[in-house]
Amino acid sequence: MILFLLKAVLILSLGLFFVPKNRKYFFTFSLHLALVVISSFLIFNTFNQVASLKFPFLSLLNNTIYIEIDKLSAFFMLVINFTCLTGIIYAKAYLEPYYKSKSSLEFALHYFSFLWLHIAMLFVVMFRDALAFLIVWEIMALTAFLLVIFENEKKETIKIGIQYLIQMHIAVVFIMIGFIWAYSQTGADFSFDGLSVYFESHNPLPLFLIFFIGFGIKAGFIPLHSWLPHAHPAAPTHVSAVMSGVIIKMGIYGILRVLTYIHHDLFNIGLFILISALVNGLIGVSLAIVQHDIKKLLAYHSIENIGIIGIGIGLGVIGLAINIPALTVLGFAGGIMHILNHSLFKSLLFYTAGAVYTQTHTRNIEELGGLIKKMPKTALFFLIGALAICGLPPFNGFISEFLIYSGMFKALLSGNLQTDILLFFAISGLAIIGGLAIFCFTKVFSIVFLGTPRSDKVTHAKEASTSMILAYALIAITILLIGLLPVLFINPLIDIVSIFTKDTQAIQQAIPTLNSISISSGLFIVLIALFWLVRYWQQKRQNIRKDATWACAYTGANPAIHQYTATSYADNFVQISNQITNVKKEFKNFEEAEIFPKERTFQTHSSDKIEDYLIKTPTTFILNFLQKIGVFQTGKIQHYLLYAFAFIMMIFILTLLNLI
């Protein structure tokens, strides 16, 4: 029955091309909803039974392809469903301005790709057969590409889309090599399960590294991240949210799935994951601080959060290797929970940022300001997202970071010197990442929403439409629910973690702690409300006035100019971190004899050094080289005949000399 319904959805999706333009949204929404209902049924069943769900789906090249859903898959399906559902709710209002400029076919293709992205991601986590997995993985990359280039009238977007497509295919190559290598070495199944045979008898590190590169490109592990900060801003907002919320998590899924088959020599693997995750977190957030494009900034934060997830997973693997169950359980639990949490607050941040973009038509935060007065609800939800991403209580980001922290502190006591030093780096790394995230989000929130407008683009902004706010609210409620009552989510989490280790005692011990956190957070909110009332009561009898901001009695300030900007806010940090952030300032100094200064400009640029060295330098080198070779292409037939003649002569001479 379920299978029939699932296949029906797949076939009905073609109908999108035949439905009239004004009905397309409704049609695609109902298909998404059907998909969510069907897969939720599967998720529910998986969590309600001990064994994983397995049934045949179709046969491909005489092989029966099974759908196999264990707790890990079910968890990812949940994340995919939630983000895609809020995404499609949000898309209604977001795509309205494009209704006139885009043709019916373009809309059909967009909705079709979005639906198939949803389907492909669900199948990515449901298939174990390598061939089927690679096919749906490819569908996922292609549909995402089609979604990114929605605004195809911009040349830049097409360029970014193609860059994305190329990098995704490099990823596919690595994953494919990984499967083929394992297959050729062992002759076992050409599937994930076949990997276990290889890992049992070989050193797992080399093959793991190949998979890590493949999946790491998707997940945005530095230095493989360079597609991410470009693709996110170019894509429509609901697509960026899904990209950041779930597509990059598919990379994490791949890594986790491969890890489930490795049972020995885990220490180096864990160390490798931990170090790359720490680098990700620190560099990601540092680069985020200097960005002015709000969506690019959020993209760098995705890199940072992949880092936090990686820290959890890396610690979990190290815990397995050196046999500290507390570290394993809490590390994996924190990392996996952060996958869900990140998909929530990051999509919320993207949705609110997208609403700002629709209203002001700019993503440059230097041109914004004072939006809290025009869009109070959007501002409030952005604030919730910002507080959650900084990992502050009582929001959800805190819970996952807390689990990781408590795992680390527990392991500190029972570890040896080596682990203690690793944990030292992990603890201070996570603390610095948290601090930098606060620095970054105080900056973004205040520059975009607070103060006074910095340009007239803000003047016509209006509050986001109801369907957008519905999408915000759905996410915000979940964020608060996880943040205030984390215990509700602990049992499914235990189920997922038990895939990696059977000794889940440490997380059960964490339940009273989480309860205390709920109480503390509740008390926190109650106390704030209480003091609000006290102040209300105190101020009722007093003279409350409204007046201009205090500027040391100087009243001639122009609020649009005499205000802190994003550049000036970040400058303090840039001074101590310019090795990473690579900010260059362009301005002309005053000359000595210049009595009446002329008009001046000041510009700052930042560039991603890793991207420069890894992508830009080699590609420019190759392009230059190819241009030099281009000398031969003269366009004259005589020259080409000469080349042919020279070639024949060369062959002739080489044969004479018995060289070939």
Partner 1 sequence: MMSLFFILITAPFFVGIILKVKAKFAARKLPSILQPFYDVARLFKKGAIYSTTTSFIFKIAPLVYFVSVLMAALFIPIGSLKGFLSFNADFVYFAYLLAFGKFMMIIAAMDTGSSFEGMGANREALYSMLIEPAFFILIASLALFTDNNSFYGLFLNLHISTNLSYILGLAAIYVLMYIAMIENSRSPIDDAKTHLELTMVHEVMVLDNSGFDLALIHIATWIKFSIYGTLISNFIIQNEWPLALQIGSFFFVQMAFAGVVGLLESFRARNKLEKNPQWIIMLSAIAIVLFLTTLIITQKIILY
Query: In the window 532-591, what residues touch partner 1 (CB under 8 A)?
Result: 532, 535, 538-539, 542-552, 559, 562-564, 568-569, 572-573, 575-576
- Cα distances (angstroms) measured from residue 187 to each of 184, 190, 194, 635: 6, 8, 8, 52
Among 445, 472, 489, 500, binds partner 1 (CB under 8 A): 445
Of residues 133 through 172, those in contact with partner 1 by CB under 8 A are none
- Minimum CB distance to partner 1, residue 510 (Å): 7
Instruction: CB nearer to partner 1: give 94 or 395.
Output: 395
Instruction: CB nearer to partner 1: give 394 or 492.
Output: 394
Location of structure tokens 């909705």: 111
- Minimum CB distance to partner 1, residue 401 (Å): 8
Instruction: CB nearer to partner 1: give 397 or 492.
Output: 397
Mark 167-206 with x for binding to partner 1 (rule: CB under 8 A) and - for no binding.
----------------------------------------
DSSP 474-498: HHHHHHHHHHH-GGGGHHHHHHHHT
Q: Is residue 245 near partner 1 by the rule CB under 8 A?
A: no
- Minimum CB distance to partner 1, residue 565 (Å): 9
Q: Is residue 409 near partner 1 by the rule CB under 8 A?
A: yes
Instruction: CB nearer to partner 1: give 52 or 364.
Output: 364
Instruction: CB nearer to partner 1: give 196 or 442.
Output: 442
Of residues 620 through 639, those in contact with partner 1 by CB under 8 A are none
Question: What token pair was written down for 509?
Answer: 């011990």
DSSP 116-151: HHHHHHHHHHHB-BHHHHHHHHHHHHHHHHHHHTTS
- Minimum CB distance to partner 1, residue 408 (Å): 8
- Minimum CB distance to partner 1, residue 249 (Å): 24
Q: What value, to the nearest 5°, has the Cα angle with vertex 531 and ends 526 and 537? A: 130
Alpha-carbon span 564 to 454, nearest angstrom: 10
Among 184, 516, 617, 634, binds partner 1 (CB under 8 A): 516
- Minimum CB distance to partner 1, residue 564 (Å): 3
Instruction: CB nearer to partner 1: give 97 or 376.
Output: 376
- Minimum CB distance to partner 1, residue 334 (Å): 12
- Minimum CB distance to partner 1, residue 629 (Å): 50
Of residues 461 through 480, those in contact with partner 1 by CB under 8 A are none
Location of structure tokens 């979604």: 147
Of residues 383 through 402, those in contact with partner 1 by CB under 8 A are 383, 387, 390-393, 398, 401-402
Alpha-carbon span 80 to 115, nearest angstrom: 12
Identify the bridge partners of residue 586 per DSSP, sorted by sequence position: 603
Instruction: CB nearer to partner 1: give 54 or 462.
Output: 462
Of residues 321 through 380, those in contact with partner 1 by CB under 8 A are 369-370, 372-373, 376, 379
Task: Tell whether the torsion through CA atoms of 500, 505, 509 and 511 is positive or negative.
Answer: positive
- Minimum CB distance to partner 1, residue 500 (Å): 22
- Minimum CB distance to partner 1, residue 431 (Å): 4
Residues binding partner 1: number (CB under 8 A) = 82
CB 277 within 8 A of CB 313: yes
Number of Cβ within a 10 Å radius of residue 211: 23
- Minimum CB distance to partner 1, residue 417 (Å): 4
Among 22, 185, 428, 578, binds partner 1 (CB under 8 A): 428
Alpha-carbon span 85 to 456, nearest angstrom: 34
From 361, 246, 230, 251, select the one nearest 298 (Cα to Cα): 230
Q: Is residue 423 near partner 1 by the rule CB under 8 A?
A: yes
Alpha-carbon span 446 to 439, nearest angstrom: 11
Alpha-carbon span 164 to 277, nearest angstrom: 22
What are the contacts of 38-43 at 24+ separation with CB within 8 A?
38/2, 38/5, 38/6, 38/9, 39/77, 39/81, 39/122, 40/78, 40/81, 41/2, 42/2, 42/69, 42/74, 42/77, 43/69, 43/74, 43/77, 43/78, 43/81
Among 134, 412, 480, 487, binds partner 1 (CB under 8 A): 412
Q: Is residue 511 near partner 1 by the rule CB under 8 A?
A: no
CB burial of 234-249 (b: ≥16 within 10 Å; e: otherwise) equals bbbbbbbbbbbbbbbb
From 353, 228, 326, select the one nearest 608 (Cα to Cα): 228
